[in-house]
Amino acid sequence: MPIDVNWLRADRSGDPHLVRQAQRQRFKADADALVDEVLELDTSWREKTTCARELHTQLNALQKDVIARRKKLKEPCDEELKQAALIREQLKELELQTLQCEKLRDGALGKLGNFVDPSVPISQNEADNEVISTWPSGTSAAHPAHVSHDDLGRSLLGHDELLWRIGGYDPERGCKVAGSRGYFLEDAGVLLNQALINFGLAFLRARGYRAVQPPYFMRKELMAGVAQLDDFDQQLYKVTKGGQGEVAEEMEKYLIATSEQPLCAFHAKEVLDAEVLPLRYAGLSTCFRTELGKAGRENRGIFRVHQFDKVEQFCITAADSELSQQMHSEMLRCAEEFYQSLGVSYRVVKVVSGELNDAATMKYDLEGWFAGQGQYRELVSCSNCTDFQSRALDIRYRPADPPDKQRPRHVHMLNSTLTASGRCLCCLLETYQTSDGVRVPSALVPFMGGIDFLPFIRGPRQPVEVCKAKVPREPKEPSNLSHIQDLEEKLLHCPYVGGFEASKDDLNEISIVKHEDLSKYPNVRRWIEHMNSFTSRELALLT
């Protein structure tokens, strides 16, 4: 149960109004109905539990005071035995109803989000995120101290073009092997990626963090304790291997979207000693995300991909709001110092309530300035989840001071990106570009074997990606089934209709299949999604 059901019980010092208010602040659909459903089911569960307790008392009294005494006196007790059997049947049915009611209540309770910190801006619009600070200090939040041209007056390049020119990645072959958004990091890209990871780990270990490399997949029941229900379809990859029934269920695993998830479960069902708190972990992992519904031109290059590496801050504190708030500030400060050491201009924003996930009571985003794009983009998310996740995973500690010493309490859990190396790499490329290559930030030079400059070794990348295809407005007559099946088979092996480069054939096929029901053809859907990320300029090169 991610939130304590007692928060909804007026007779247990709870306040249903405050829980309703939190759901409204999160702009949940039918917020009042969600809370009312939990209240109704909880009332029913409590009534059934009370009734079962009374039947147990009645049965015990009948067995002890009547049946046992009569048997001892060798008196007949057939009626009493029938009565006891009837009570047992009633209990069996009632306990089944109670269990079902509890399951429904806990399921409804799991749809409710955490309380929202009073300082959080109440809005659904990201434009209302509150700017807390900028770095370097004194720069405008909208226009930091960067120019849009290099020292020769040429327009700055985007990270995808820069990574290509330094010989850092191969997106076409990546797409051939892994499908949409696949990529190979090469040479300079590999060195930069590993340098960021190693620098990030060294940075956190110097601040008292313990490095942890977790499993890359989790059991379903544990993932359910740390991921929202919609994440199972929108973010997570599911892994299965053979088996049927219960065996298949046991073999179901989910690839992690962040090391926060397995680190949350690291102490599942444990009672910690107060003396070990706070705990600071530096999680290192590869992360896997489906990123459904997030296609677009802004996702070119390796900024938003299905697989990337990340160093994560993960901290556990005692169940004290002041302590977890202090830790939240410490983690944000740590992230800021990391990006300052890399020379990245950034701003910190407090995220609006409508953009918080269910677990977070408050979240800061650190947004780096992408000079080539002339905009801020998210590099860090730093969240205080209080005891929301620890309740789901039953992680508690035993307070050291009386009178609470013998009463375990749920810990508070916090998480923050230090560096998602792919995104950070993109920002560094745009920040440190020159007319003939990319300078390496001084902080990374020791982790690059002394390399301080990455020269361009390739010319401009030849456009093979296109944006929205021009398709006829009038719907075409549905093509035959065999044509779509042939297209599905072809796109299973190649990213484009004509092979490994986009062509006019792709545009022709789009006009044919656009209005078809493609729900059973994932490769065709993926191909259309990819084609919808093309620019009109790139499209013109294909016609």
Please tell me the predicted confidence (pLDDT) of residue 138: 67
| Average of per-residue pLDDT across 454-471 | 68
Instruction: Using pLDDT thresholds of 50, 70 and 90, give the confidence band for residue 471.
Output: very low
Say how many CA atoms lie within 13 Å of 378 toward its Cβ. Answer: 16
| Average of per-residue pLDDT across 291-306 | 73
Please tell me the predicted confidence (pLDDT) of residue 82: 77
Please tell me the predicted confidence (pLDDT) of residue 300: 78
User: CA–CA separation, 495 vs 241, rounded Å?
Assistant: 27
Is the peptide bond between 136 and the residue preceding it cis, with omega within 30 degrees of 0? yes
Residue 495 has pLDDT above 90, yes or no: no
Please tell me the predicted confidence (pLDDT) of residue 475: 43
Residue 228 has pLDDT above 90, yes or no: no
Residue ranges covered by each domain of the chain: 5-109, 126-214+274-455, 481-540
The type of residue at 233 is D
More confident residue, 231 or 33: 33
Instruction: Using pLDDT thresholds of 50, 70 and 90, give the confidence band for residue 383.
Output: very high
What 331-335 contacts at long range (C-beta under 8 Å, 24+ apart), as own/partner pairs, is: 331/382, 331/414, 331/416, 332/364, 332/366, 332/382, 332/416, 334/204, 334/207, 334/416, 334/418, 335/366, 335/380, 335/382, 335/416, 335/417, 335/418
CB neighbours of residue 335 within 10 Å? 24
Mean pLDDT of the chain: 87
Tokens of 135: 């770095």
3-class DSSP state of 384: strand
CA 483 to chain centre: 38
Tokens of 507: 């545009």
More confident residue, 424 or 242: 424
Write down the number of H helices and E strands in the chain: 18, 18
Instruction: Give the largest Cα separation in the chain, rounded.
Output: 110
Tokens of 249: 């269920």
The closest alpha carbon to 37, from 115, 95, 101, 116, belongs to 101
Q: Which residues share a beta bridge with 313?
A: 282, 416
Residues in Cβ contact with 236 at an 8 Å cutoff, skipping those fewer than 6 apart: 223, 227, 254, 255, 257, 288, 289, 290
Return the CATH superfamily for domain 5-109. Serine-tRNA synthetase, tRNA binding domain (1.10.287.40)
| Average of per-residue pLDDT across 183-208 | 98
424 within 8 A of 341, measured Cβ to Cβ? no
| Average of per-residue pLDDT across 101-107 | 92
Q: Which CATH architecture has domain 126-214+274-455?
A: 2-Layer Sandwich (3.30)
High-pLDDT (> 90) share of the chain, %? 61
Give DSSP secondary structure letters for 400-426.
SSTTSTTS-EEPEEEEEEEEEHHHHHH
Residue 78 has pLDDT above 70, yes or no: no
State pLDDT tens for residues 134-148. 999 866 655 554 444
Please tell me the predicted confidence (pLDDT) of residue 170: 94
More confident residue, 475 or 423: 423
Sign of the four-CA dihedral 497, 189, 211, 368: negative
Distances (CA, A) of 284 to 209, 216, 325, 368, 422: 12, 10, 24, 21, 14
